[in-house]
Structure 1
């Protein structure tokens, strides 16, 4: 059997336990700090992702509208020529009808 612990040994064990508890408390606070900073980074990343998605949707919408405007604009000369041809054909038909009648 072991001899009973002396007061010095009890004090030494108590000191070691105090040191371990202090170290554990410091590590625990560092972990908490790390977790808080990580949450901030994750929140910023989430908001950045949302902003990028919003900008992508706006860009897609603008692209669709620009393409529609371009189709309309490039169709105008053809429509104008066709319209002019229709007016000239109508005028020619009217002149022919007036001369023949």
Structure 2
């Protein structure tokens, strides 16, 4: 058994990444809705969905910049540590997360 991955993230970074994943999903759903509305010819709903799509893009962009800024912060803060184990054939079969204080 060999440890293959250790990832350190601050609590704020974990939250921001979760929000970023949600914004990405919202953007994908909005793009799919825009395609369906374009095919159906509903111009009013399409215009409203385009405005929502722009909002999702701005939200995702701001969250990406916040995640990048949070990664640059280095101090003694609580971290969520994720460790994964891998067996000989390369399959990951274990994953564990816990909160720890790490001094950089």
What TM-score range do you get, normalising by the shorter chain? 0.3 to 0.5
Q: Which has the higher helix share?
A: 1
Q: Which has the higher strand share?
A: 2
Q: TM-score, normalised by structure 1?
A: 0.34
